[in-house]
């Protein structure tokens, strides 16, 4: 089928496009800033139309000759998002009717009972109603909290649980929620395009577990191997005050946190599973909450550097991060990145890199490395006592002082994974590549994934010393390479 995705640079849209392609559909992408799609693996497999949902002309171009419209746009970060989303929905609905589109698919939120809705949920409900009244067959899928790395709701949960071993929370943490894994949301979205045209309606979608927000935090902590979180609910924290707290302790923007928390004041549980009458459950059943969290934390379960996500979920799995995800998503990864050019050859620089550690040392502040090794041994770690087997050559899997050699690509990359006692996970990458002037470029990257509040404090304490330790490594490694072989003579 010919499908146009509006909102492909967003969280769900960026994951929906490859699923539609895999299902054999032809996909057109409508984006205000197409450059955000340049790093997507599927960029060359889709047609891109630039425009804005508020511009009738560009919307008409995007919908021309299309059979299915996926509307995944919202203006949550704008002060007047209710009015903006209403106007945009009316523009798209009218254009879809005039273009003869056969189906509109919209992802909204679960509507809780008859109580007064938060502005966020009320707006989502209104947008769905605009499409339903358009005369174009419409499927509205309504979800509560979506569990997946990059989802704003999940990232808020992740940061709060990771960073706060104890917290004071409002009463809404006892409200019931029916979360759903992002992979299941995408299953329903893709299959919604295949529902017969005479069928229209709104359907609640949710996972198999109904939990409170408190349950979700406790179960997240268990999956993430964190100590059980101490939560003290109090009746005085309004949604607005809660959002200020979220803004303080997490990188989730306040403009997003406020409407999300206001929505959590409601109990959002599926009223039925009528969607199964039109779309069967995913093969193997709906994803449990714990499994969804495991997938979202896949990179923390991987033995690789955090910028490489687990291959176990597949190269295009819905739980993988995308270049279009906001910078504040993905958990707390700390980095110290440095590079320096040298007149030495690539081979000379690599010889120094591969001979690092053991009796050869770490090329910076030996006393600091020794003290850290002693401290590690005192707390039950391996320290620096393991040394290295061969003074010149390393192999993947072998021990190197308090590191484990994770990858050796000669003469380009050495990746080490820390096995010292630290409140988190750490890696050190030493890389070399040819420079344009005939020398070499040395790149060094230290990566740390903090574990809970202790990990955050650990990074804050040691980071002031990075200039001395890691900066010294860069200077001394390149200097040693310069001395190993004379620089090349320019022709």
pLDDT digits (tens, 9 = 90+) for 205-254: 999 999 998 899 899 999 988 888 887 777 666 666 776 777 677 777 67
pLDDT bracket for residue 302 (50, 70, 90): very low
pLDDT bracket for residue 314 (50, 70, 90): very low
* pLDDT score of 315: 39
* pLDDT score of 330: 61
Q: Is the pLDDT of residue 136 over 50?
A: yes
* pLDDT score of 87: 93
**Tokens of residue 112, six digits:** 């809780």
pLDDT bracket for residue 326 (50, 70, 90): low
pLDDT digits (tens, 9 = 90+) for 139-189: 999 999 999 887 888 888 888 888 778 777 777 788 889 999 999 999 999
Q: DSSP secondary-structure letter at 452?
A: H
Instruction: Give the residue with greater pLDDT, 115 vs 164.
Output: 164
Query: Can you tell me the distance from the alpha carbon of 322 to that of 182, in angstroms, rounded to the nearest whole number?
Result: 13
Determine the 3-state secondary structure of 166 from DSSP: strand
Closest CA to 62 of 5, 1, 14: 5
Closest CA to 373 of 420, 415, 416, 405: 420
Q: Is the pLDDT of residue 312 over 60?
A: no
Query: Can you tell me the distance from the alpha carbon of 19 to that of 391, in angstroms, rounded to the nearest whole number?
Result: 49
Query: Can you tell me the distance from the alpha carbon of 167 to that of 214, in angstroms, rounded to the nearest whole number?
Result: 11
Determine the 3-state secondary structure of 195 from DSSP: coil
pLDDT bracket for residue 77 (50, 70, 90): low
What are residue 337's DSSP bridge partners? 445
Query: Can you tell me the distance from the alpha carbon of 401 to that of 383, in angstroms, rounded to the nearest whole number?
Result: 7
Q: Are 142 and 202 in contact (CB under 8 A)?
A: yes
Burial class (CB in 10 A: 0-12, 13-18, 19+), 438: middle
Q: Are 401 and 392 in contact (CB under 8 A)?
A: no
Instruction: Give the residue with greater pLDDT, 413 vs 320.
Output: 413
398-403 mean pLDDT = 85
How big is the chain, counted in residues? Answer: 491
Q: Which residue carries 């030996």 as its tokens?
A: 366
pLDDT bracket for residue 131 (50, 70, 90): very high
Beta strands in 66-118 (DSSP E): 68-71, 103-109
Query: Can you tell me the distance from the alpha carbon of 212 to that of 174, in angstroms, rounded to the nearest whole number?
Result: 5
Query: Can you tell me the distance from the alpha carbon of 292 to that of 219, in angstroms, rounded to the nearest whole number?
Result: 11
pLDDT digits (tens, 9 = 90+) for 420-475: 888 888 899 999 999 887 889 999 999 888 887 788 888 888 888 888 888 989 99
Instruction: Give the residue with greater pLDDT, 73 vs 244.
Output: 73
pLDDT bracket for residue 36 (50, 70, 90): confident
74-98 mean pLDDT = 86
Q: DSSP secondary-structure letter at 411?
A: T
Beta strands in 213-355 (DSSP E): 230-233, 334-342
Q: DSSP secondary-structure letter at 302?
A: S
* pLDDT score of 361: 85
Query: 103-112, 332-341, 369-378, 441-450 — which is least confidently predicted?
Result: 369-378
For every residue of 374-394, DSSP letters joined together read: HHHHHTT--TTTT--SSSS--
Burial class (CB in 10 A: 0-12, 13-18, 19+), 264: buried
Q: Is the pLDDT of residue 311 over 50?
A: no
What are residue 184's DSSP bridge partners? none
pTM: 0.70
Q: Are 181 and 217 in contact (CB under 8 A)?
A: no
Q: Mean pLDDT highest for which of 322-326, 364-368, 386-390, 475-479?
A: 475-479
Query: Can you tell me the distance from the alpha carbon of 123 to that of 121, in angstroms, rounded to the nearest whole number?
Result: 5
Closest CA to 484 of 392, 368, 417, 359: 392
Query: 189-198, 325-334, 387-396, 403-412 — which is least confidently predicted?
Result: 325-334
* pLDDT score of 102: 93
* pLDDT score of 451: 80
Query: Can you tell me the distance from the alpha carbon of 408 to that of 398, in angstroms, rounded to the nearest whole number?
Result: 11
Whole-number mean pLDDT of the chain? 83
Strand pairing class (47-50; 26-31): parallel
* pLDDT score of 491: 42
Query: Can you tell me the distance from the alpha carbon of 153 to that of 157, in angstroms, rounded to the nearest whole number?
Result: 6
Q: Are 227 and 452 in contact (CB under 8 A)?
A: yes
Q: Mean pLDDT highest for which of 284-288, 391-395, 469-473?
A: 284-288
> How many other C-beta atoms can be found within 10 angstroms of the C-beta atom of residue 240?
11
Query: Can you tell me the distance from the alpha carbon of 423 to that of 55, in angstroms, rounded to the nearest whole number?
Result: 50
What are residue 176's DSSP bridge partners? 212
In sequence order, which residues have a C-beta less than 8 Å from that of residue 398 and are 6 or more positions away? 388, 389, 404, 405
pLDDT digits (tens, 9 = 90+) for 414-432: 999 888 888 888 899 999 9
pLDDT bracket for residue 267 (50, 70, 90): confident
């Amino acid at each position: 089928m010919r499908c146009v995705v509006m909102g492909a640079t967003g969280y769900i849209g960026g994951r929906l496009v490859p699923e539609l392609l895999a299902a054999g559909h032809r996909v057109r992408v409508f984006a205000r800033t197409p450059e955000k799609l340049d790093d997507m693996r599927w960029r060359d497999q889709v047609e891109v139309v630039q425009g804005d949902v508020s511009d009738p002309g560009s919307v008409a171009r995007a919908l021309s000759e299309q059979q299915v419209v996926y509307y995944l746009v919202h203006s949550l970060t704008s002060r007047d998002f209710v009015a903006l989303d209403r106007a945009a929905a009316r523009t798209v609905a009218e254009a879809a009717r005039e273009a003869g589109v056969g189906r509109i698919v919209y992802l909204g939120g679960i509507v809780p009972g008859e109580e007064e809705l938060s502005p966020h949920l009320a707006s989502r409900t209104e947008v769905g109603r605009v499409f339903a009244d358009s005369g174009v067959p419409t499927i509205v899928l309504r979800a509560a909290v979506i569990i997946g790395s990059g989802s704003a709701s999940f990232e808020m949960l992740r940061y709060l649980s990771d960073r706060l071993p104890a917290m004071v929370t409002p009463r809404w943490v006892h409200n019931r929620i029916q979360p759903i894994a992002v992979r299941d949301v995408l299953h329903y979205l893709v299959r919604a395009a295949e529902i017969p045209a005479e069928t229209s309606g709104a359907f609640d979608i949710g996972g198999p577990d109904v939990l409170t927000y408190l349950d979700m935090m406790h179960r997240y902590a268990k999956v993430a191997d964190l100590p059980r979180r101490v939560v003290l609910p109090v009746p005085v924290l309004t949604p607005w005050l809660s959002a200020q707290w979220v803004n303080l302790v997490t990188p989730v923007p306040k403009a997003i946190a406020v409407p999300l928390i206001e929505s959590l004041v409601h109990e959002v549980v599926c009223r039925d599973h009528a969607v199964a009458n039109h779309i069967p459950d995913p093969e193997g059943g709906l994803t449990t909450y714990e499994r969804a969290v495991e997938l979202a934390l896949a990179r923390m379960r991987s033995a690789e550097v955090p910028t490489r996500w687990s291959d176990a979920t597949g190269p295009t799995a819905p739980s993988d991060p995308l270049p279009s995800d906001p910078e504040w998503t993905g958990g707390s990864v700390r980095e110290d990145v440095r590079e320096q050019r040298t007149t030495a050859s690539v081979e000379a620089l690599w010889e120094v890199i591969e001979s690092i550690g053991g009796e050869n040392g770490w090329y910076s502040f030996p006393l600091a490395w020794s003290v850290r090794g002693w401290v590690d041994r005192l707390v039950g770690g391996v320290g620096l006592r393991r040394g290295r087997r061969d003074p010149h050559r390393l192999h993947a899997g072998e021990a190197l002082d308090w590191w484990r050699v994770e990858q050796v690509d000669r003469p380009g990359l050495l990746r080490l994974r820390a096995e010292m006692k630290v409140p988190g996970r750490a890696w050190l990458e030493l890389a070399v590549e040819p420079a344009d002037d005939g020398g070499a470029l040395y790149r060094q990257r230290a990566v740390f994934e903090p574990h809970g509040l202790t990990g955050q404090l650990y990074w804050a304490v040691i980071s002031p010393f990075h200039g001395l330790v890691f900066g010294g490594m860069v200077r001394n490694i390149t200097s040693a390479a310069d001395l190993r072989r004379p620089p090349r003579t320019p022709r």
